[in-house]
Amino acid sequence: MDDTPHRPTKSPVIHQLNRSHNTNITAARNPFLTRFGVAPLRKDDFAGVPSLSRRDFVKLCGMAAALLGLGSAGVPRIADALVTAASQRPSVVWLNFASDTGCTEALIKASYPNAAQLILEILSLDFHETIMAAAGAQAEELLEQAYKRGDYILIIEGGIPTKKGYGMIARREMIDIGKEFAAKAKAIIAVGSCATYGGAPSGDPNPAGLKGVSEALGVQSINLDLCPVNEGILVATIVDFLLTQRIPELDGHGRPKIFYGQTIHDQCERRAHFNAGRFVERFGSKEEELGYCLYKMGCKGPDTYANCSKFRYNDRVSWCIGAGAPCIGCGEPGWVDKFAGFYERLPGVKVPGLEGVEAGADKIGIAAGVATAAGIAAHAIGTAKKRRFKKEPPSEKADAPAGTGKAR
C-alpha cells in the first residue's frame, strides 16, 4: 500500500444532487402497487429511508424487482433489503480513472429507475469526485476516511493505464490507487466499457497500455459493460447484492449472466425482419423507414451480449437499434477495435435468405449489390424470401448467429 499522506479537511460531503423530498406517507394508495397487485407498504416499512417519499421508495423497489425479473412478488423482499441497507448505509466509493465521465452522466441524468436515489440516499456515497461538493484536500480526506473504514462497495469508472506516467491523480499512479482501494472492498463493480475491458481509450495503438479493472488490478470485478453503463443494470446489480450479499453469477468475462446472457440479436425487435431476410440497404431508404433489420448497415448485434432492448436508455424510452442505429457492440470485450468499422458488416454471421440457404456476409453483400443494380427493391426481395421460408422455415440452428462461441 502506498503511504502517501492524504491532506486533512473538516468538511463533510454535500451531494449536489441531494434534494428535499416529500415525505407525505399518508398519501393515497400508490398506483404502482395497484398495478402490480402488491399490498401497500406501511409507514414502518420504509421508516429507515427518511429522505425518500413513500412514492419514490415504492417506485424504486418496483423498478428494481422488474429489472431483476422478480416481478411484483419481489417487491417486499427488495423493500426489506433496502430498508436494512438504509439503516446500515453501506459505504460506496466511486473512483474515476481514464474515461469521459459518461457513466456518471448516465447515472445522474436517469430517473427511471433513479440510480442516484439508490446510491445517494440509501447507500452512503462517501466519495465521488465528480458530484461531491468537496474538492481537493477536503475530498482527499473523505476518501482516506472511507479507506480506513474499509468494507465498501468500490465502483470504478474508467480504464486503468498500466504504463507509468500515463494516468496520474495527485501525483499517484491510477493503478496504485486502484490496487490500494480494491484490497479493502467487499465488492468491486466496474461500470462502462472503459472500466470493464478498456473501451474506447484502449483502442489501437493504446500508448497508455490501458486495461480494464480486472486485468489491470488482478481482481475479480463485476463487469457492467456498455458505453455508457445502463443505469438500470447498475441499480439492479446493487440491489441484487444487497439482497443476496453475494456477487451475481458471472459469465466468462465477469458480466452478470442475468443481464448479459443473451445477444442483442436474440432480443431485438427487428429480429423477425432478419429472419425473413428484410434488410435496410442504405440510410434514408424506405426499408429504413419500415424498420427492417440493420445487419447490412453494420449491426454487431449478433455478436454482442447485452440486454439493451429490454433496459433501454433515456429513462427506458429507446435504445440504439430502436432509434435506427446499428448496434456497434459496445457491450463486448475488445470493443472498439473488435468491431471497427462500425458500419461494416459483421463477418461470419449466418443469414437466412438468398436461395433458401444461409450465406456468409460476403455473399450477402455481393447479392445485395446485384439486386441493387437490377433495381430490385429490398422489400420485394424480402417478400420473396418470406414466401420461400413459408415452405421451408429455417431451423433454430440455422438462425443462430455464428461467432458466438465465447466462454460464458
Interface contacts to ligand SF4, rule CB under 6 A: 226, 264-265, 268, 270-271, 274, 293-295, 299, 301-302, 304, 306, 308, 319-321, 327-331
Using left for φ > 0, alpha for ψ between -120 and 50, and beta otherwise, residue 13 falls in beta
**CB of residue 291 to ligand SF4, shortest distance in Å:** 9
**CB of residue 93 to ligand SF4, shortest distance in Å:** 26
**CB of residue 213 to ligand SF4, shortest distance in Å:** 19
- Which residues are within 8 A (CB) of 364 and not within 5 positions of it... i.e. 6 or more apart? 296, 345, 351, 353, 354
Q: How far is residue 181's CA from residue 150's CA, in Å, rounded to a whole number?
A: 8
Residue type at position 160: I
Q: Which is nearer to ligand SF4, 167 or 331 (CB)?
A: 331
**CB of residue 230 to ligand SF4, shortest distance in Å:** 7
Q: Which is nearer to ligand SF4, 161 or 192 (CB)?
A: 192
The CA–CA distances, whole Å, from 42 to 53, 54, 66, 69, 96 equal 12, 9, 21, 24, 39
**CB of residue 290 to ligand SF4, shortest distance in Å:** 13
Closest CB to ligand SF4 belongs to which residue? 301
The SS3 call for residue 132 is strand
Among residues 266, 264, 263, 326, the alpha carbon closest in space to that of 299 is found at: 326
- Beta-sheet pairing, 210-211 with 160-161: antiparallel
Q: Which is nearer to ligand SF4, 62 or 331 (CB)?
A: 331
Q: How far is residue 47's CA from residue 162's CA, in Å, rounded to a whole number?
A: 46
Q: Which is nearer to ligand SF4, 181 or 335 (CB)?
A: 335
Q: Which is nearer to ligand SF4, 70 or 402 (CB)?
A: 402
**CB of residue 381 to ligand SF4, shortest distance in Å:** 15
Q: How far is residue 236's CA from residue 349's CA, in Å, rounded to a whole number?
A: 32
The cell numbers describing 128, all together, are: 465521488
Q: Which is nearer to ligand SF4, 82 or 320 (CB)?
A: 320
Q: Which is nearer to ligand SF4, 218 or 284 (CB)?
A: 284
User: Is the CB of residue 223 less than 8 Å from the CB of residue 253?
Assistant: yes
Q: How far is residue 99's CA from residue 200's CA, in Å, rounded to a whole number?
A: 9
Among residues 299, 264, 256, the alpha carbon closest in space to that of 408 is found at: 256
Q: Which is nearer to ligand SF4, 83 or 336 (CB)?
A: 336
Q: Which is nearer to ligand SF4, 74 or 401 (CB)?
A: 401
Q: Which is nearer to ligand SF4, 74 or 228 (CB)?
A: 228
Among residues 304, 270, 273, the alpha carbon closest in space to that of 403 is found at: 304
First to last CA, the chain: 34
The SS3 call for residue 137 is helix
**CB of residue 299 to ligand SF4, shortest distance in Å:** 3
**CB of residue 194 to ligand SF4, shortest distance in Å:** 13
**CB of residue 294 to ligand SF4, shortest distance in Å:** 4
Residues facing 187 on adjacent strands:
153
- Which residues are within 8 A (CB) of 328 and not within 5 positions of it... i.e. 6 or more apart? 298, 300, 320, 335, 336, 339, 342
Residue type at position 58: V
Q: Longest C-alpha distance within the chain, in Å?
A: 76
**CB of residue 34 to ligand SF4, shortest distance in Å:** 33
